[in-house]
Amino acid sequence: MSDLISYQLEDGIATLTLNNGKVNAISPDVIAAFNAALDQAVQDRAVVIITGQPGILSGGYDLKVMTSGPQNAVALVTAGSTLARRMLSHPFPIIVACPGHAIAKGAFILLSADYRIGVEGPFNIGLNEVQIGMTMHHAGIELARDRLRKSAFHRSVINGEIFNPEGAVDAGFLDKVVPVEQLMATAVAVAQQLKKINMTAHKNTKLKVRKAFLETLDKAIELDQQHLG
């Protein structure tokens, strides 16, 4: 499908593998590839597994783009927030198999999925925006507020606290942690289980459960465009 995101369909499960350099930076091209892969997954009526390279899901937005000018930064953040919204309302289940680090936008990918599996090891998961001098965007705040435990939300967003995989389960970034060699087998087992649910009921229930949150997210994306623009 793309050099940046490979797409593999097997037995009703679409595996999207992010492959953009050593930190899997999220660039405009990566987001375009992500959207194309999700379009294909809808066409294939597939449960989705998103994963990265050994040791990393993503280190966040492409800093070259983020520092190339305010307009470019706003456009990338808007595209990223819109992708998060799309994942949250995707008609089929989305699982993330996180093979290691997930920082900034990498962690937001976790917060946008239906089920998140991480791996044991010395990996960092969290939102480092305030550590690197960025005021957290509205959409990011709302996504974290909705998916993280309240105590962890404040520590994560305001203090920039980074969690190890076990701490990330407690905080709400992950649902489960497994040994690294079991990551993909566990993700496929979860996908096989989720294939058994009624997909119309899944889609309708997901949209009903997340209705108010998706409206809040839409307003936040608009605010970010005004504020950053």
Give per-residue pLDDT as tens, 12-48.
Answer: 999 999 999 999 999 999 999 999 999 999 999 999 9
The reported pLDDT for the residue numbered 229 is 46
Q: What are the strands of the beta sheet with 176-178, ordered from one edge? A: 5-10, 13-18, 47-51, 94-97, 115-119, 176-178
pLDDT value at position 2? Answer: 75
Q: Topology of domain 5-226, per CATH?
A: 2-enoyl-CoA Hydratase; Chain A, domain 1 (3.90.226)
> Which pLDDT value is given to residue 226?
86
Domain ranges of the chain: 5-226
The structure's pTM equals 0.96
Sequence-ordered list of residues with C-beta below 8 angstroms from that of 5, at least 6 positions apart, any chain: 16, 17, 18, 19, 30, 33, 34, 36, 37
pLDDT tens-digit readout, 169-226: 999 999 999 999 999 999 999 999 999 999 999 999 999 999 999 999 999 999 999 8
**In the chain, what percentage of residues exceed pLDDT 90?**
96
> What is the C-alpha separation between 160 and 162, in angstroms, rounded?
6
Residue (of 56, 162, 60, 161) closest to 119 by Cα position:
56
Inter-residue contact 99 to 55 (CB < 8 Å): yes
pLDDT at 204: 98
* Token pair of 169 as six digits: 């389960």
- pLDDT of 228 over the 70 cut: no
Residue 180: how many CB atoms within 10 A of its CB?
16
pLDDT of residue 227: 65
